[in-house]
Amino acid sequence: MKKITLALFCLALLAGAAGAQTWPTKPVKLVVPYAPGSSPDVLARLVNEKTGKALGHPLIIENRPGAGGNTGTDYVAKAAPDGYTFLMSTNGPLVYNTVLIEKLPYDPFRDLAPVTLAGWQPNVCAVSNNLKVDTVAQWIDAMRKNPGKFNFSSTGVGSMSHLSIEILKLKTSSYAVHLPYSSSPQAITAIVQGDVHFACVPPVAVMPQAKAGRIKALAVTSPERFETLKELPTMKELGYPEIQAMAWMAVMAPAKTPADIINRMSRELVIALRDRDTRDKLAGAYMEPVGGTPEDLSKFMKEELERWSPVIRHYSSAEVK
CA atoms within 13 A on the CB side of 311: 25
Whole-angstrom Cα Rg for the chain: 21
Chain centroid, CA 213 distance in Å:
27
Mean pLDDT over 140-167 rounds to 92
Q: Which residue has the higher pLDDT, 316 or 163?
A: 163
Cβ–Cβ < 8 Å for 32, 40: yes
In this structure, the number of other CB atoms found within 10 A of the CB of residue 179 comes to 15
Per-residue confidence band for 12, with pLDDT thresholds at 50, 70 and 90: very low
What's the CA angle centered on 225, arms 312 and 207, to 5 degrees? 80
* Cα(106)–Cα(134) distance, integer angstroms: 42
Domains of the chain: residue spans and CATH: 26-121+248-312 (3.40.190.150), 126-245 (3.40.190.10)
> Tens digit of pLDDT for each residue in 251-286?
999 999 999 999 999 999 999 999 999 999 999 989
Query: What percentage of the chain exceeds 70 in pLDDT?
Result: 92
Listed residue (91, 96, 151, 88) closest to 115, CA to CA? 88
* Cα(242)–Cα(235) distance, integer angstroms: 8
| Cis peptide preceding 24, ω within 30 of 0 | yes
The structure's pTM equals 0.82
> Tens digit of pLDDT for each residue in 276-316?
999 999 999 899 999 999 999 999 999 999 989 988 888 77
